[in-house]
């Protein structure tokens, strides 16, 4: 079971967003993310946030979780709303020229106890925390990157340049544009990292 959180940033293509809404068990819109859903004819289960970027006129007041708290981002608020509903959340439409929102979503993910995924136009991201392992069967030759969010010790197999208990940290060693050559296993021994994998149009990945 997973939920889809549609944020207010640059939208996915209409076919892509429709594919993700159809695959999800629960749909939340964060503020202006409601407008993205209205444009493709999808009604979210809930709308969350301070509502400062919603322009649609048909906001369903009966399913609005209004939260004006200025100390928490929209990603914080929407992830908190999901906690009692689903164990895994995919965040879509994260940024539209506002990379502070993208970075803030990583902070929100680290603070959450949910399994967090990101849906980008060309990639799919997964947060992997200390002690977690992700096993994937991916198309040979596809690209993936493992980017640490803090100093991390990681192992990565099934790729052209494997890692074994390697120390990764921003500004030093990262695994960028690696190449899949077999079943992939990403194990985070300590720290936390985001695994980014190429995906095709309308390809829904729920691992």
The answer to whether 146 touches 168, Cβ cutoff 8 Å, is yes
Tell me which residue has tokens 């819109």: 29
pLDDT at position 66: 72
The answer to whether 56 touches 32, Cβ cutoff 8 Å, is no
pLDDT tens digits in sequence order for the chain, 207 residues long? 899 999 988 889 999 999 999 999 999 998 889 999 999 999 999 898 777 667 656 666 567 877 777 788 888 988 998 888 899 999 999 876 677 878 888 999 999 999 999 999 999 999 999 999 999 999 999 999 999 999 999 999 999 999 999 999 988 989 999 999 999 999 999 999 999 999 999 999 878
Rounded to 5°, angle at Cα 174 from 168 and 175: 120
**Neighbour-count burial of 113, counting CB atoms closer than 10 A to its CB (0-12 exposed, 13-18 middle, 19+ buried):** exposed
With a CB cutoff of 8 Å and minimum separation 6, the contacts of 58 are 38
Region of 14 please: left (phi>0), alpha (psi -120 to 50) or beta: alpha
Cα-trace Rg, the chain: 17
Which CATH number describes the domain made up of 2-121? 3.40.50.10240
Domain(s) of CATH 2.60.120.320: residues in the chain: 127-195
pLDDT at position 57: 64
The CATH T-level fold of domain 127-195 is Jelly Rolls (2.60.120)
Domain(s) of CATH 3.40.50.10240: residues in the chain: 2-121
Report pTM: 0.89
Q: Is 44 helix (H, G, I), strand (E, B) or coil?
A: coil
């Amino acid at each position: 079971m997973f939920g889809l959180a549609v944020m207010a940033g640059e939208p996915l293509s209409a076919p892509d967003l429709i594919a993700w809404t159809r695959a999800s068990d629960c749909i939340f819109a964060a503020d202006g993310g409601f407008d993205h859903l209205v444009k493709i004819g999808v009604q979210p289960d809930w709308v969350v946030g301070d509502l400062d970027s919603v322009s649609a006129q048909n906001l369903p007041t009966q399913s609005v979780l209004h939260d004006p708290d200025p100390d928490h981002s929209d990603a914080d608020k929407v992830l908190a709303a999901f906690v009692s509903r689903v164990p895994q959340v995919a965040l879509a439409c994260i940024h539209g020229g506002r990379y502070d929102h993208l970075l803030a979503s990583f902070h929100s993910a680290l603070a959450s106890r949910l399994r967090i995924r990101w849906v980008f136009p060309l990639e799919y991201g997964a947060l992997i925390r200390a002690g977690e392992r992700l096993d994937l069967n991916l198309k040979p030759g596809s690209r993936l990157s493992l980017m640490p969010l803090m100093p991390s010790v990681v192992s990565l197999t099934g790729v052209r340049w494997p890692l074994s208990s390697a120390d990764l940290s921003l500004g030093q060693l990262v695994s960028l544009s690696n190449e899949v050559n077999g079943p992939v296993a990403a194990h985070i021994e300590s720290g936390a990292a985001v695994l980014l994998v190429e995906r095709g149009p309308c390809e829904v990945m729920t691992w």
